Amino acid sequence: MQQNPINPENMRVCSLFAPGFTSTWLYLVELDWPWEALPLIASYVQKLGKELDFSAYDKRPDNVFIHKTSTVAPSAFLGTNIIIGANTEVRHNAFIRKDVIIGENAVIGNSTELKNAILFDNVQVPHFNYIGDSILGYKTHLGAGVITSNVKSDSSLVSVNCGDTRIKTNLKKFGAILGDNVEIGCNAVLNPGTVIGPKTTVYPLSMTRGFVPADSIYKNQSDIVKKR
């Protein structure tokens, strides 16, 4: 029997992400829900930082680790507790605040801000993006101006809506969880508690919330179609 695509089980780590493609994989698969990783990212950086090959990584002050094959623009800001993987490009005026793990072959672009986030390998956030309290799966791409809104307007705790099911996260700050190969169009806003399944495309200027199933095209909240 084919599984209902709006089943909450499709928001589990192994449903959203293929194994590997992030140094945090062994931590993530231990969790019931992927957003449970968000309060743990700082500790992940500290644990992984002790295991790095320092012949391959440069260590900067404030617990910042950069692979020697990666490039960081002189104008980029690197705060505290950060790991940047191999062959990654951090471009002009990028603002990486704290508690961030970036995988291999990633692009962190012009004026993009990251905070408390995990970016899998080959993620591209190239232009004027904000990624806070979020996880972006393998080969996820954000168009220019895409924002992960990570705090509700009334500052209440975030829940994730999946069809008729509402799951409490007990988190005040939770942006978005994007599965592998997700494409987000320019200037879209991902509201707090957004979870998007693998290989889904979100239209430009969209506003999303809750769970969007895998292999979908999201036009708006009432117009989500299956890819052919």
Averaged pLDDT for residues 199-218: 97
Cβ neighbours of residue 142 under 8 Å, at least 6 residues apart?
Answer: 124, 125, 126, 129, 131, 136, 184
The domain spans of the chain are: 8-226
Averaged pLDDT for residues 29-43: 98
Output the CA torsion sign for 31, 47, 62, 142: negative
- Taking only the tens place, the pLDDT of each residue in 116-175 is 999 999 999 999 999 999 999 999 999 999 999 999 999 999 999 999 999 999 999 999
176 pLDDT more than 50: yes
pLDDT of residue 3: 55
pLDDT of residue 1: 31
CATH of domain 8-226: 2.160.10.10
| Closest C-alpha among 120, 115, 109, 102 to residue 13 | 120
Q: What global pTM score does this model have?
A: 0.96
| Closest C-alpha among 84, 88, 126, 119 to residue 105 | 88
2 pLDDT more than 80: no
Q: Vertex 16, ends 63 and 137: CA angle to 5°?
A: 40
